Amino acid sequence: MTFIYYPKCRTCMKAKKWLDDHHIDYIERHIKEDNPSVAELQTWHRQSGLPLKKFFNTSGLLYKSLQLKDKLSGMTDDEMYSILASDGMLVKRPLIITKNKVLIGFKEKEWKESLL
């Protein structure tokens, strides 16, 4: 299992503590230092079953400065994959990636149901 996070993100640190408290093994991946690739994003998107827009960090400064709120509806999936892969700070975090599951953001109830 891979735990993709940004160390300065409070939600990510809360999620990391939750994983540690529940003795769940994971491999850490710093989202800013190791951006997800287009191919990874495509795979995760398919696995998640969620709309691609859910992968965007809508509260991030970069998202806001690029005015993506107004642009996403007119973008193709390929364009969205490309922009997500351009900077890890655009990707919603934390992410949990397993062989058959992708969790986006930290929702304790969802994590309990999926990981315990």
CA distance 91 to 4: 10
Average pLDDT of 3-30? 97
Domains and CATH numbers, the chain: 2-115 (3.40.30.10)
Q: What pLDDT does 47 receive?
A: 96
Its pTM stands at 0.94
Give the residue ranges of DSSP H helices in the chain: 10-21, 38-48, 61-65, 68-71, 77-86, 108-115
What is the per-residue pLDDT across 59-93, written as a single tens digit (0 to 9) for each?
999 999 999 999 999 999 999 999 999 999 999 99
CA distance 114 to 108: 10
Structure tokens that stand for 53 in this block: 């827009």
